[in-house]
Amino acid sequence: MTFRLRSLLTYSLEIVTASALALLFFGLLFWLLHLFFPRGPGLGLFLHGHFPSEKREERSDSSLWVATDTGVAGLNRQGGLVAELVQIVRDVRGKSADAIAWKPAVQGMPLYDRDSIQTLERSSATIKFDAHNQLELASNSLVIIKRLESDLLWPERRTFMVMVDGELRGKVSPTGNQPVFVEIATPNAVARVRSSSGGENVDFQIKVNRDKSSTVKVFKGSATVVGAGTTVNIGENQSTVVSGSGSPTQPALLPDNVLPVRPADNELYYFRELPPKIRFEWEKSSLASEYRLVLAKDAAFNDIVFDSRVTGSFFEHGNLKQGEYFWHVIGIGKNGSEGTPGVQRSVTVVQDVEPPRLQVKFPKVVQGQLQYPVQGVTERKARIFIDGQEVMPQATGEFSHEVTLKPGVNIIVVEAVDLAGNVSYQSETVHGKLH
């Protein structure tokens, strides 16, 4: 009986051990898959070569072709080199054409035919084709670069094709005297951008929205959007929204640049324990129905800490940690299109737990003296209270005040309160003497 029980326990222990090892193995396997295969478009897009066909308006992804002159762009003369990854922020992944797994991207990395770049959450990247043409990828975007053959109809359309999911901003300009042609196929329309040979630059933005509609904006230059048999020409500071059915709206003006009201530029906010409530205000725009308040830790707005839509013209933020922040406001039109960022300002939040410096001179009392002079110095911008009465110090922090003595014991208390609410005090017992 004892032998059977021991055998049963041993068998049970073996089963539990084997199950634990199996779970550990599969957990490690899933971790490795997550590490090498981050969230994003499926591998079938890369493995089967599903690049844009002639029926680009029926595609379920979005694509971008960039064409430049054949012999001027320095990046184009080096074998299969197509572009260069010139800037990365946070988590950016890259994948060569003959690879399956994604790897961390490196700034300065050369990009070849069918190489891919993917930005993850709160990440961004900049791809440079030559000295005048580049793409800026927002978070959760995918770009695949493909070399194209020349086109007899468009002599300047030659070298590059880029497919993108997410959001991109492009800046294109002529290479030498040759114009640059850009064509973007979104899930439901095609946008075409072409710089003139006369030197006109084109600054545009394409965004595929969550509901599969697309927003096309032109900040400078012009573009054409074709969808569902409708063609819309977009001028400078205009936008169109392409619905899920593929119909682009008529061009609408982008909201004006939003002007900030407060806080003032470079304003300081002090706190001791709990972060202060900071009220951000801005002027209303007649073309905006909503606003987008953005705060970042850097002036280039790569390290964004707050990004939210606001219906009114102010917002109170009460959870900013110590540090310097840059902020701007973007107007959002009735069709959902965003204007360009408004005037940029900075604000600094400082945590201060040290009591302010305070030095006080208490002179001796002279027989018959009724007015007792108190002098001292504290740190700049600190408030001074003497016997509960506020005294305005000079810009240097120096202060002076006369206290009227009463016969008998007078307890004189001097308090200094800094901007964070820290307090320093000194007191002196003075005997008022009769005549």
The DSSP-derived string for 288-346 is -SEEEEEEESSTTS-SEEEEEEESSSEEEE--PPSEEEEEEEEEE-TTS-B------EE
Please, are residues 416 and 383 in contact by the beta-carbon 8 Å criterion? yes
Please, are residues 105 and 97 in contact by the beta-carbon 8 Å criterion? no
Q: Which domains does the chain have, with CATH numbers?
A: 44-253 (2.60.120.1440), 260-351 (2.60.40.10), 358-432 (2.60.40.10)
Q: What is the rounded CA–CA span in Å between residue 169 and residue 219?
A: 10
Residue 293 has a pLDDT of 97
Residue 157 has a pLDDT of 44
Residue 60 has a pLDDT of 36
What amino acid occupies position 278?
A: I
pLDDT over 50 at 67, yes or no: no
Name the residue with higher pLDDT: 288 or 364: 288
Confidence of residue 213 (pLDDT cuts 50, 70, 90): confident
Residue 328 tokens read as 């701007």
Residue 80 tokens read as 């299969």
Confidence of residue 62 (pLDDT cuts 50, 70, 90): very low
Residue owning tokens 């591998």: 43
Residue 133 tokens read as 């043409």
Find the mean pLDDT for residues 350-375. 88
Confidence of residue 159 (pLDDT cuts 50, 70, 90): very low
Q: What is the rounded CA–CA span in Å between residue 320 and residue 276?
A: 8
What is the reported pTM?
0.66
Strand locations in 333-380, DSSP E? 345-351, 358-361, 371-378
Name the residue with higher pLDDT: 179 or 261: 261
**Sheet with strand 267-271: strands edge to edge:** 267-271, 345-351, 323-332, 290-296, 304-310
pLDDT over 70 at 319, yes or no: yes
Confidence of residue 161 (pLDDT cuts 50, 70, 90): low
pLDDT over 80 at 395, yes or no: yes
Residue 17 tokens read as 């051990």
* pLDDT winner (highest mean) among 67-76, 127-136, 158-167, 262-271: 262-271
C-alpha closest to that of 296 among 258, 324, 257: 324
The per-residue DSSP string of 88-127 comes to EESSEEEE-TT--S-EE--TTEEEETT-EEEE-TT-EEEE
pLDDT over 90 at 290, yes or no: yes
Residue 220 tokens read as 């400078």
- Among 28-32, 124-128, 272-276, 408-412, the minimum mean pLDDT is found in 28-32
The per-residue DSSP string of 240-270 comes to EEE-TTSPBPPPEEPPPPPPEEESPTTEEEE
C-alpha closest to that of 231 among 208, 251, 211, 203: 251
Confidence of residue 63 (pLDDT cuts 50, 70, 90): very low
